[in-house]
Amino acid sequence: MKHQFQVKKILIPIDFSNTSKLALEHAAHLCKKFGSELHLVHIYKTSTIDVLPNLTATSASLPDYESLREMVIEELNEIGKIFSEKHNIPYNIEVKEGSVSKGIIATAKDCGADLIVMGSHGVSGFEEFFLGSNAYRVVTSATVPVLTVQEKADKMGFENIVLPIDNSQHTRDKVSEVVALAQAFGSKVHIAQLMREDDDVAIMKLKVKQVEDHLDHKGISHETTVLNEGHIATMTLNFAQTVKADLIAIMTDQENFNGFFVGEYAQQIVNHSKIPVLSVTPIGIIKGFSQSQLGGDYKPFYL
């Protein structure tokens, strides 16, 4: 197992949508548990005019670039102030121009974030955080874990955490993050042993046993269930619903039978889960694959 996961600073992208504000509530809850600092960022393009709820492209007088930037900063400060007073949490704000996904990754690196918390969808009609390639790039390119919050995920805290364990090489790398969250929230961890027809049963049992032993050592309540019928993403989502989970923790390096990095599992879980999803990427995996293996227009732009 890797070193203990710590959450000293949380980055939260804000696009002023209800989902991003809900994500901020989750971030605030995490900040109180871990004593974290909150860093708010908004990223926009100069062509994006109605980035604020009270500003539309039909306005008689559209603001210039500097005025727009000042309005965004004012709005972010107002949000930060409200949450600071409500939760007694220190915060910083930042406004950037450019690509949403690249900006999030760069800001996380620059501010030294340990965790990114963001809404799974942004403002309708704009470059949403989790439409198409943005979802793939943020979740699989971030050098820190990413917690995605869905539109109606209004329950705070994590009473039950689903921890899928499969045959991929780095499936146990997310255990450190799960341990930290389970200890902070007093969670029960539900280990989902995901089996496919060609999996080596003995190896899978060994992987799960190592995880169970580690959770025992950390004093964390846990239970293991073997899932072997259906697509692994569907099995995971259905299992999470069955155990009334508040969080699913996944790796983004799920492998197909050819051993190539595909990310299909992570994409389906993030896109279809009704509860928050914690995505952890083993950075060494991304560096080891060629562009043709990654497929599409994916580019690990933090390298």
Is the residue at 301 inside a domain? Answer: no
* Boundary of a domain, candidates 96, 124, 149: 149
pLDDT at residue 260 is higher than 70: no
Mean pLDDT score, 239-263: 72
Instruction: Please state the domain count of the chain.
Output: 2
Residue 89's DSSP bridge partners are: none
Cα separation, 10 vs 236, whole angstroms: 27
pLDDT at residue 256 is higher than 90: no
- Asked if 276 and 166 sit in the same domain, the reply is yes
Is the residue at 143 inside a domain? Answer: yes
Is the residue at 180 inside a domain? Answer: yes
pLDDT digits (tens, 9 = 90+) for 197-243: 777 889 889 999 999 999 999 999 999 999 988 888 899 999 999 99
- Asked if 144 and 164 sit in the same domain, the reply is no
Band of pLDDT at residue 160, cut at 50, 70 and 90: very high
Cα separation, 171 vs 207, whole angstroms: 9
Average pLDDT of every residue of the chain: 79
* Boundary of a domain, candidates 123, 149, 175: 149
Band of pLDDT at residue 300, cut at 50, 70 and 90: very low
Band of pLDDT at residue 124, cut at 50, 70 and 90: very low
- Asked if 142 and 195 sit in the same domain, the reply is no
* Boundary of a domain, candidates 90, 122, 149: 149
Domain of residue 44, CATH code: 3.40.50.620
> What share of the chain has pLDDT > 90, as a percent?
34
- Asked if 48 and 166 sit in the same domain, the reply is no
User: Dihedral angle at the C-alpha atoms of 32, 33, 38, 40, nearest 10 degrees?
Assistant: -100
Cα separation, 253 vs 212, whole angstroms: 22
Sequence letter at residue 236:
T
pLDDT at residue 130 is higher than 80: no
- Asked if 144 and 225 sit in the same domain, the reply is no
What was the pLDDT predicted at 241? 95
Residue 183 belongs to domain spanning: 160-294
Alpha carbon of residue 126 to chain centroid: 20
Is the residue at 285 inside a domain? Answer: yes
